[in-house]
Amino acid sequence: MKIAVASDHGGYILKKTVIALLEESSIAYKDFGTFSADPVDYPDIALAVAEAVSGGAYERGILCCGTGIGVAIAANKVPGIRAGQCHDTFSARAAREHNDANILTMGERVIGPGLARDIVTTWLQAEFQGGRHSRRVDKIGVIESKYNCSSR
């Protein structure tokens, strides 16, 4: 599995925690930035990871910002992306098993490093269950096609 990882300045320290976990687990990843705590715009960071995942170069992505909200909104504008904001392990497991979430988003100002590690581990280990969930995920694709995921 290859993971695309990124953060804005608000999630920079949390991203370093995520990267440490990936390295400890021998999971391949690419860091798409940011590379310091200097301010950057979260849509730019989210777009880089979302395009890498939607294009198939990476199986999944992990995005961090201050709350996890901004990067989730931005990433979900890219067709084929199902970014789930998770701040607990139950949501992380359900995001994968029920929603086939291919990007995990978390907020550094919301959770600490220990919980973040548990969330990432849970999300990486969980697999999409298919079945009745496939029908629902397919409907998301229909919505994407209908509206072309454009902002108004």
Q: What is the pLDDT of residue 130?
A: 86
Helices (H) and strands (E) in the chain, counts: 6, 5
- 34-90 pLDDT, tens digit each: 999 999 999 999 999 999 999 999 999 999 999 999 999 999 999 999 999 999 999
Burial label for 96, CB within 10 Å (0-12, 13-18, 19+), is buried
Residue 139 placed within a domain:
yes
Residue 145: pLDDT band (50, 70, 90) is confident
Q: Is the pLDDT of residue 149 over 80?
A: no
Q: Which residues are catalytic?
A: 65, 98
CATH of the domain at 71: 3.40.1400.10
Domain count of the fold of the chain: 1
Residue 11 labeled ligand binder: no
Domain range for 59 is 2-147
Report the alpha-carbon distance of residue 9 to residue 108 in Å, rounded: 10
Residue 152 labeled ligand binder: no
Residue 152: pLDDT band (50, 70, 90) is very low
Residue 68 labeled ligand binder: yes
Tokens of residue 57, six digits: 């170069």
Identify the CA nearest to 110 among candidates 152, 68, 58: 68
Residue 152 placed within a domain:
no
